[in-house]
Amino acid sequence: MTDWSEGYVSDIDYTHGYYRELNPAHLRFALLAKGLRSPDPDAGGFAYCELGFGQGVSLTIHAAANPGGTFLGTDFNPAHAVGARELADRSGVTNLTLHDDSFAELLARSEGGGMPQFDMIVLHGILSWISPENRGTIVEFIRRTLKPGGVVYVSYNALPGWAAMMPLRELMTLHAGADAGEITARIGRSLDFAKKVQEGGSGYFGTNPQVGPRLERLQGMSRNYLAHEYFNRDWVPMYHADVAREFSQAKLAFAATATLSEQVDVVNFNAKGLELLRQTTDPALKETLKDYLVNQQFRRDLYVRGAIRLPGVEQIRQVRATRFALVVPRDTVPTSITFPVGKVDMKQEIYAPILDQLAQGPATFGDLVDRAGITSMPFSALLQAMVILCSQNWVAPCRSAAGDAGRAMVTARFNRFALDRAMHSAAISVLASPVCGGGVAVDRVHQLFLAAEREGRDPTLTAMAGLRELNQRLITDGKTLTSEEETVVELGNRLTHFQGKIRPLLQQLGVV
Ligand SMILES: C[S@@+](CC[C@H](N)C(=O)[O-])C[C@H]1O[C@@H](n2cnc3c(N)ncnc32)[C@H](O)[C@@H]1O
């Protein structure tokens, strides 16, 4: 730990995650689906800020895939800022300003008036891991720099879902604090210690039977992830009502969840829960009640400064004009989904025609329901189907087709850099899509096939060399392949699947 880190873990870098919920097109659709006006990335230039960008994968991809926007971010870990800068520079992203400021320093920087007024401010995985003072700093930064009509995305560990785990986290951090040495080793020993407490017949583990299996899962997780998730000085799971109260000081009102599946009450709550919700009118109580009903652990919320409800016809017009794209092969989309209420069958008379149309390529909602001949179905049912498809990351809300060519120039540069890097690193598991205006998942083997294709090399041999370099093993049907012969056969199978299903999809998404 260092002086500048304010108790935040700084001696171990964070993981290279990509979060699609931070995509400007996703933010807009999440508000639009709830009938709320949102900043529209297709309406011209927009300004976007990410607080605590970590390795900067999401931020750099969003800047690359939205060259018409102006992007700015800060993360006080200089190693993160350097890594993100390199990612942006090497991929030719020029619309991104990166600082290694603390939140307080960024706030001070905004005092000089040199800071843009933002349409979107996002912070993912930050709020629960900082001090109350820093939460206040962020609220003040938002108050000063968010435009009226602007949107804030904030995610955090929620209560009551974390209640049972809080004492386990306390035990592990107390142990790690009393221990000496390098952080990953201390984390390992604190997990072992917690295990011994459990095996010693601890009343806490007995009364909270869900904690033991959680501890088991923690043992298998990346130490980098655990360091940032559990071992900061500050770690505050919060109730929705408390966050809403703090954010109201920046004139923000809760607008919608960015976790799209949670926008559809009928798949989350049983009849009694729905009735309770119907009877509850206070907005903060109602939203908090939802967290009690599902024992919510993690919220991804959208707050707006000045919520404007769209007239019904305007919501329909905007939804019809929004483009969507399939991001997984059509035949991998199942016909049922398990939600908190249980297994739900997806009505094939709605879902099948939508998916069949999307399999032809990205299309506006209006075009695809017209072409599918399902316009006579209620708009609310069609929209709900699209929300569900997007919630599962099978379909993504996209930018409009008009800007594809301009965006593709920058995403191609980003992807070239990412593919070069894939030969020596497994860190980035997404490529940039000009259609989605963000990242789409592409696993390392598929990245290696694409890298080989670009350089006219043999795909299987290239993938084999890439796997060998990182000593990576393929897993198929739950079995880890240990011999080269088995791996070559499996790579051949994956190449066939890639060429038949994945490559055409990536082509539709403008990735290749
Ligand atoms: C849990 S990580 C999340 C990173 C990224 N948003 C993501 O989800 O991948 C939290 C990040 O916030 C940064 N951070 C924590 N406290 C900060 C502060 N006071 N000022 C600026 N950055 C901070 C950390 O360095 C870290 O990269």
pLDDT tens, position by position, 146-186 = 999 999 999 999 999 999 999 999 999 999 999 999 889 99
Of all residues in the chain, the percent with pLDDT exceeding 70 is 98
Ligand 1, residues 15, 18, 75, 134: which to mutate, most atoms within 8 A of Cβ?
75
- pLDDT above 80 (res 75): yes
Whether residue 254 is found in the same domain as residue 125: yes
* Structural domain includes residue 468: yes
Strands (E), 282-340: 298-304, 323-326, 336-339
* 75 CA from centroid of ligand 1 (Å): 6
Determine the average pLDDT of the residues in 295-307.
97
Quote the longest CA-to-CA distance of the chain. 67
pLDDT of residue 224: 84
CA proximity to 25, closest of 468, 432, 512, 484: 432
CA proximity to 23, closest of 397, 405, 431: 397
Q: Where residue 478 falls among pLDDT bands split at 50, 70, 90?
A: confident
Which residues are within 8 A (CB) of 479 and not within 5 positions of it... i.e. 6 or more apart? none
Whether residue 138 is found in the same domain as residue 207: no
Pairwise CA distance, residues 363 & 277, whole Å: 35
Pairwise CA distance, residues 203 & 386, whole Å: 46
- pLDDT above 60 (res 307): yes
Pairwise CA distance, residues 129 & 230, whole Å: 9
pLDDT of residue 172: 96
pLDDT of residue 398: 98
Which residues are bridge partners to 158 per DSSP?
Answer: 238
* Structural domain includes residue 314: no
- Type and span of the H or E element at 365: helix 365-372
- Type and span of the H or E element at 70: strand 70-74
Range of weakest confidence among 5-19, 71-85, 117-131: 5-19
Show which of 277, 304, 331 is a domain's final residue: 304
Whether residue 101 is found in the same domain as residue 18: yes
Tokens matching residue 382 = 């069609």
- Count of domains observed in the chain: 4
Ligand 1, residues 9, 58, 77: which to mutate, most atoms within 8 A of Cβ?
77
Residue 61's domain is classified under what CATH number?
3.40.50.150
Residue 59: burial class (beta carbons within 10 Å; 0-12, 13-18, 19+): buried
Cβ of 129 below 6 Å from ligand 1: yes
* Structural domain includes residue 7: yes
Whether residue 187 is found in the same domain as residue 325: no
* 500 CA from centroid of ligand 1 (Å): 40
pLDDT of residue 13: 64
Range of weakest confidence among 8-12, 77-81, 267-271: 8-12
Cβ of 231 below 6 Å from ligand 1: no
Cβ of 125 below 6 Å from ligand 1: yes
pLDDT tens digit string along 97-107? 999 999 999 99
Pairwise CA distance, residues 369 & 107, whole Å: 46
* Structural domain includes residue 378: yes
Whether residue 122 is found in the same domain as residue 254: yes
* Structural domain includes residue 416: no
- Type of residue at 460: T
Pairwise CA distance, residues 400 & 398, whole Å: 6
Pairwise CA distance, residues 264 & 302, whole Å: 16
Whether residue 93 is found in the same domain as residue 144: yes
Cβ of 56 below 6 Å from ligand 1: no
Average pLDDT, rounded, for the chain: 95
* Structural domain includes residue 283: no
Whether residue 193 is found in the same domain as residue 208: yes
pLDDT of residue 232: 85
Supply the DSSP symbol for 158. Answer: B
CB 277 within 8 A of CB 286: yes
Cβ of 18 below 6 Å from ligand 1: no
Residue appearing with tokens 């609310």: 380
Cβ of 102 below 6 Å from ligand 1: yes
* Structural domain includes residue 80: yes
Cβ of 75 below 6 Å from ligand 1: yes
Show which of 401, 427, 458 is a domain's final residue: 401
Whether residue 141 is found in the same domain as residue 240: yes
Cβ of 76 below 6 Å from ligand 1: yes
CB 328 within 8 A of CB 475: no
* 438 CA from centroid of ligand 1 (Å): 21
Whether residue 112 is found in the same domain as residue 252: yes
pLDDT tens digit string along 329-357? 999 999 999 999 999 999 999 999 999 99
Whether residue 70 is found in the same domain as residue 121: yes
Determine the average pLDDT of the residues in 286-307.
97
Which residues are within 8 A (CB) of 216 and not within 5 positions of it... i.e. 6 or more apart? none
Cβ of 54 below 6 Å from ligand 1: yes
pLDDT of residue 5: 73
- pLDDT above 90 (res 14): no
* Structural domain includes residue 437: no
pLDDT of residue 225: 84
pLDDT of residue 8: 67
Tokens matching residue 326 = 């399939």
pLDDT of residue 1: 44
Determine the average pLDDT of the residues in 241-260.
98
CA proximity to 250, closest of 110, 146, 149, 112: 146
Which residues are bridge partners to 47 per DSSP?
Answer: 70
CA proximity to 338, closest of 388, 301, 298, 292: 388
Which residues are within 8 A (CB) of 189 and not within 5 positions of it... i.e. 6 or more apart? 175, 176, 179
- pLDDT above 90 (res 464): yes
Whether residue 80 is found in the same domain as residue 208: no
Pairwise CA distance, residues 162 & 166, whole Å: 6
- pLDDT above 60 (res 2): no
Whether residue 151 is found in the same domain as residue 168: no
Domain range for 347: 321-401
- pLDDT above 50 (res 399): yes
| Ligand 1 atom closest to Cα of residue 80 | 27
* 423 CA from centroid of ligand 1 (Å): 28
- pLDDT above 50 (res 381): yes
Tokens matching residue 57 = 């994968």
pLDDT of residue 223: 86
Q: Where residue 112 falls among pLDDT bands split at 50, 70, 90?
A: confident
Taking residue 214's Cβ as centre, other Cβ atoms within 10 Å add up to 12
Sheet containing strand 96-99, edge to edge, reads 96-99, 70-74, 47-51, 118-123, 146-157, 298-304, 253-257
Show which of 304, 338, 357 is a domain's final residue: 304
Pairwise CA distance, residues 430 & 418, whole Å: 9
Q: Are strands 363-364 and 395-398 parallel, antiparallel or unpaired?
A: unpaired
Q: Are strands 96-99 and 70-74 parallel, antiparallel or unpaired?
A: parallel
